[in-house]
Amino acid sequence: MAETLRLMAVHAHPDDESSKGAATMARYVAEGVEVLVVTCTGGERGDILNPAMDRPEVKANLTAVRQAEMDAAREILGVRQEWLGFVDSGLPEGDPLPPLPEGCFALVPLEEATAPLVRQMRAFRPHVVLTYDENGGYPHPDHIKTHEISAAAFDAAGDPDRYPELGEPWQPLKMYYFLTFHKERLLALHGALVEAGKESPYLDWIANWEDRPMPWPSTTQVPCGDFFEVRDAALIAHATQIDPNGWWFACPPDLQRRAWPTEDYHLARSLVDTELPEDDLFAGIREKVGA
């Protein structure tokens, strides 16, 4: 009997799973793949970015509100979700930057912070792991820490000598970095909006983009345009973070499908043979496991 394919996406905060790779996950769920989102922190120190939710009762119960938002997004995407239970580090601002708060995720020693993710990997047994690059996609301390524990757990989960108390060893076969906000995609969406006679929110972003190569080349583009509406619904479920009238939704899904119908990734680790570029995160794995 063919083995069921399994995909794990490791994220720093609730809402990250809906802004990075959500349409990919929804597509694979529709195809029968088991998908697990692992959320490292509760987003306790996140700002309220939607003016309609900037209310005292929301601020007073932000942890519970964000948990409820995550549950709603999980339901929309059709995925499973687990919390690692670390405390949001916040995004330090100022010059010089203030110290990180005591006990936050970014300050947990790597060996200790990696352990609960190893437990999740051994329990869920993913073939593919999605995470951030070493810069976190952007330099939030929780995103950087998420990369660090994902890379460490990828190696440790299959090693019987590491964390022997955390379950039977399991070795994931591929690890990818999200490449969500890259200049080529933004230029394509901007051009589609201009051509359609619509206002583009990307002009200043593109104008201020530092002219340097992407740190990681795109190796894998997953066609998932049919699931952009699912992604958008999951985003809107994170009401404290996402303004439904904001720039996230400036480019209608139909235009996006014509301009850039994929979500993009960099293949960082692979223990199976695959040919680049890919259009499937499970390329080389389907053949190996008979899926």
- Span 90-113, pLDDT tens digits: 998 888 889 999 999 999 999 999
Average pLDDT of the chain, as a whole number: 95
What order of strands is seen across the sheet that includes strand 174-178? 80-86, 34-41, 6-11, 128-131, 174-178, 262-270, 220-223
Q: Which residues are annotated as a binding site for Zn(2+)?
A: 13, 16, 143
Question: CA–CA separation, 189 vs 187, rounded Å?
Answer: 6
The predicted pLDDT at position 42 comes to: 97
Which pTM was predicted? 0.96
The predicted pLDDT at position 144 comes to: 97
Cα distance from N-terminal residue to C-terminal residue, the chain: 9
The predicted pLDDT at position 93 comes to: 86
pLDDT in tens, the chain (291 residues): 668 999 999 999 999 999 999 999 999 999 999 999 999 999 999 889 999 999 999 988 999 999 999 999 999 999 999 999 999 999 988 888 899 999 999 999 999 999 999 999 999 999 999 999 999 888 899 999 999 999 999 999 999 999 999 999 999 999 999 999 898 999 999 999 999 999 999 988 888 886 666 678 999 999 999 999 999 999 999 999 999 999 899 999 999 999 999 999 999 999 999 999 999 999 999 988 877
Question: CA–CA separation, 16 vs 143, rounded Å?
Answer: 10
- Contact call for residues 244 and 236 (beta carbons, < 8 A): yes
DSSP H helices, 44-182, are 56-60, 62-77, 110-124, 141-156
Question: CA–CA separation, 218 vs 221, rounded Å?
Answer: 7
The predicted pLDDT at position 1 comes to: 60
Under CATH, what is the fold of the domain 6-181+217-251+262-289?
Answer: Rossmann fold (3.40.50)
The predicted pLDDT at position 187 comes to: 94
Q: Which residues are annotated as a binding site?
A: 13, 16, 143
